[in-house]
Amino acid sequence: MDWFLGPFKKFYDISGRAGRAEFWPFAAANAVLILALEALDQALYGANAYAFSAGYIVLVFVPFFSLVFRRLRDAGRSLYWIFLLLNVIGWVILLALLAGPSAPAPAAAPEEEADPSDSLVKTLAALFCYGVTLYWIYSLALEMERCGSPAWLQYAVVAVPFLYLVSRLYTERKRPWPDGSGIILSAYVAAILLTAISYPYFSGLIRKSTAGATAAKLQEMRASLEENVKANNMVYPADISAVIPAPPELKLPLSGHPPSKEIRVAAFTDIQDSGRWLYDGTAIRIDCTHPDPKGVSWSTY
């Protein structure tokens, strides 16, 4: 299993070399594993759901990229070819470059003593990057819980490698940073800054999409009810379960109500803030007095 676990153990090494026998089995196995996890996500959570697969992608991200760097160096290619990953055609070109044979290793240059100030700057930069990433992972997990989709276990798994990286900043503090680490940290910091700049444009996206999905589910149930009423000479059914035997899951962001698939039946529009669907004999509503992300009460939908 060293062919699979090896890149994880050497995730911090971007200055070494990796042959084709080390790169391709790892890349192929992870491609198959990610596809399998995506299938599991869709089986458990439905279409367009990515929980375990997304968590594993984050987990394998750093080991894979460090492996790509080592393979490029072993093939005698410039590390700047990594930027081919920015587009689909670049992926194809990069894979062709990675398939090349190993090139002779250049003569080793005499070792130079590490600059303490340089190591300190890199350590502080890494601490900033890991800290911000962990905070964002926590914030995303908290947002998912507020939207009725708690996934603390999955996000805890994603956070584990970054907690390990933080611990290494202390346990490996006397070890000099490898060559090329400055490039990786600079790209990491740049990515964080770009994400922070774009954050206001995507703030609340999860809760808004959840609210939109809830409104769409409500319209679908109302359409089913309307079709049933028309088919029965404009008589509303007394048993709503005969019309909607499997109600969709109701998620109400920021309401504090847990997800529910139950339809509460009442003789009139009796809003009790139960956090469930409500059928009052003539219409299907949402039994919740809390506001949606736009500030409109769910019960007015």
Q: How many residues does the chain have?
A: 301
DSSP 110: P
Residues 243 and 180 in one domain: no
Could you give the maximum distance between any two Cα atoms of the chain, in Å? 91
Strands 263-265 and 284-287: unpaired
Residue 114: the pLDDT is 53
- Model confidence band, residue 86 (pLDDT cutoffs 50, 70, 90): low
Flag whether pLDDT at 97 surpasses 80.
Answer: no
- Model confidence band, residue 47 (pLDDT cutoffs 50, 70, 90): low
Residue 232: the pLDDT is 86
Residues 79 and 197 in one domain: yes
Range of the domain at 221: 207-300
Count of domains observed in the chain? 2
Region 50-66: what's the mean pLDDT?
Answer: 80
Residues 147 and 237 in one domain: no
Task: Give the span between the Cα atoms of 154 and 4, in whole angstroms.
Answer: 22
Residues 190 and 213 in one domain: no
Question: Which ranges in the chain belong to alpha helices (H)?
Answer: 2-9, 20-45, 52-74, 88-98, 116-146, 152-171, 181-202, 205-231, 240-243
- Model confidence band, residue 110 (pLDDT cutoffs 50, 70, 90): low
pTM over 0.75: no
- 107 domain-assigned: no
Query: Which is it for the CA torsion 134, 135, 138, 144, positive or negative?
Result: negative
Residues 18 and 72 in one domain: yes
Residues 131 and 269 in one domain: no
Other residues' Cβ atoms within 10 Å of the Cβ of residue 274 = 16
Task: Give the span between the Cα atoms of 186 and 79, in whole angstroms.
Answer: 14
Q: 134-138, 152-156, 258-262: which has the minimum mean pLDDT?
A: 152-156
Report long-range pairs for 155-162 (Cβ below 8 Å, ≥24 apart). 155/55, 157/55, 157/59, 158/54, 158/55, 158/58, 158/59, 159/134, 160/59, 161/11, 161/58, 161/59, 161/62, 162/130, 162/133, 162/134, 162/137
Flag whether pLDDT at 118 surpasses 80.
Answer: no
Describe the strand order of the beta sheet including 263-265 as a list of residue ranges: 263-265, 276-279, 284-287
Domain boundary among 144, 173, 203: 203
Whole-number average pLDDT of the chain: 82
- 258 domain-assigned: yes
Q: Write out the H or E segment, with its range, that includes residue 285.
A: strand 284-287
Residues 142 and 272 in one domain: no
Render pLDDT for 190-240 as a digit per residue (tens, 0 to 9). 888 888 888 777 777 888 888 888 999 999 999 988 998 888 888 888 888
Residue 32: the pLDDT is 92
Residues 270 and 121 in one domain: no
